[in-house]
Amino acid sequence: MKFIILKENLNKGLNIVSRVTGKNSTLPILNNILIDAQKNFLNLSATDLELGIKYWSLIKTEKEGKITIPAKILSSFINLLPEDKIYFELKNQIFNINCQSYQTKIKGLSAEDFPIIPKIENNNFIQLDCQTFCKGLSQVVDFASQNQTTKPELSGVYLNFGKDTLSLTTTDSFRLAEKILFFEEKNNQELSLIIPQRSVREIINILSEKEGKLRFYFSTHQVLFEYFMSETDHPEIQLISRLIDGDYPDYQEIIPKKYEIQTLLSKEDFLNHVKTASIFSGKTNEIKIIVKKDGIEILSQNPEFGENKSFLSAQVKYASVGIKEMEVSFNYRFLIDGLLNIKGPEVIFELNGEGGPAVLKPKDDTSYIYIVMPIKST
């Protein structure tokens, strides 16, 4: 193997694929990146067996070949080189690197020992706008369950492709978030699947700044996201994730169809009042919301330190005349998490009694909903 590449291009690729390396200590070769020079492309690959990443860059290949190299050493080293051409040559499993006055040798491991990243044989794909998709994922990804043992299906993001919409959903049983994306053209492949939370985080990290379209391929156990080089028909990045087996619960049942009290609040003010109250919440993180006729009162107290009370003006609507005041307790972290994912200056906050699910959603936007269960009074 012998090729020439610009430092900038190689650096970009290494930053992307090395995100999945170094997370598996039982199989040392997973700390390595597979480097494969063929025709006029360099292909970098890495995997943690759950998520595989491939990256292609145009190069000048003098001799084809492949090798695996420790990701950490290679990335930190290339990152420090001057912005110039880098000359690579493989001699007896030793990767020789020359750039300006630098002469470097890195020991490789045979490409034969590198695990195969699965391919997807299905040629059908669904096309998505890359930034819209990533932005949608980022509004729900945090709320997948951290418990992968008892209910593994809740530990991922649920994608449900319908004719007109793609809905993205997560829940950890305490709260649930759903974001709906609308297709520009009708989608004729209805399907649903669950992607592990960590894979989704990497999709967001790697692709959220990319403009243009993303192609989505799927099989029974894997999903592939493919991003193309601008102005070519060659892929630039592929992310291949395993899927989580299992049936996602029928969460539509949990989304309240009505409310007892609806309030319209300034998002920033609500966030500040909740944060301030949180300082005096106890170990349960409990703060109390009391809805009055012209706003909400936020209360918290801690026998050790003290207490806090504040009032925030709001537009308040009651579902029936019988309802006057309502007291509901929440884990303040769950309220903050939801508020941080609401776009726009105003938030609708709907309550359904001291035990019923509460709803946070943006004003004038039905595409996002965040549901949070109260702390039941003891």
- Where along the sequence are the contacts to a second copy (CB under 8 A)? 70, 73, 76-77, 80-82, 94-95, 101-107, 272, 275-276, 279-280, 304-312
Separation of alpha carbons 158 and 141, rounded Å: 10
**Token match 């105003």: residue?**
346
Among the listed residues 243, 310, 338, 47, the one whose alpha carbon sits nearest the alpha carbon of residue 348: 338
Smallest separation, CB 31 to a second copy (Å):
11
Cβ nearer to a second copy, comparing 94 with 255: 94
Smallest separation, CB 362 to a second copy (Å):
23
- Distances in Å between the alpha carbon of 152 and those of 114, 149, 243, 244? 28, 6, 11, 7
Cβ nearer to a second copy, comparing 72 with 215: 72
CB 312 within 8 A of CB 270: yes
Among the listed residues 8, 41, 64, the one whose alpha carbon sits nearest the alpha carbon of residue 232: 41
Cβ nearer to a second copy, comparing 80 with 264: 80
Cβ nearer to a second copy, comparing 105 with 363: 105
Q: Which residues contact 26 (CB under 8 A, 6 or more apart)?
A: none
Smallest separation, CB 296 to a second copy (Å):
11
Smallest separation, CB 302 to a second copy (Å):
9
Among the listed residues 235, 153, 201, 231, the one whose alpha carbon sits nearest the alpha carbon of residue 23: 201
Smallest separation, CB 105 to a second copy (Å):
5
Cβ nearer to a second copy, comparing 148 with 272: 272
Smallest separation, CB 92 to a second copy (Å):
13
Q: Exposed e or buried b for every residue in 308-337, given b needs 16+ CB within 10 A?
A: beeebebebeeeeeeeeebebbbbbebbbb
What's the N-to-C CA distance of the chain in angstroms?
69
Cβ nearer to a second copy, comparing 78 with 369: 78
Cβ nearer to a second copy, comparing 32 with 199: 32
CB 210 within 8 A of CB 191: no
- Please state at what angle helix 130-138 crosses helix 197-207, rounded to 10 degrees: 130
**Degrees (nearest 5) of the Cα angle 258, 260, 263?**
95
Smallest separation, CB 85 to a second copy (Å):
16
DSSP state of 53: E
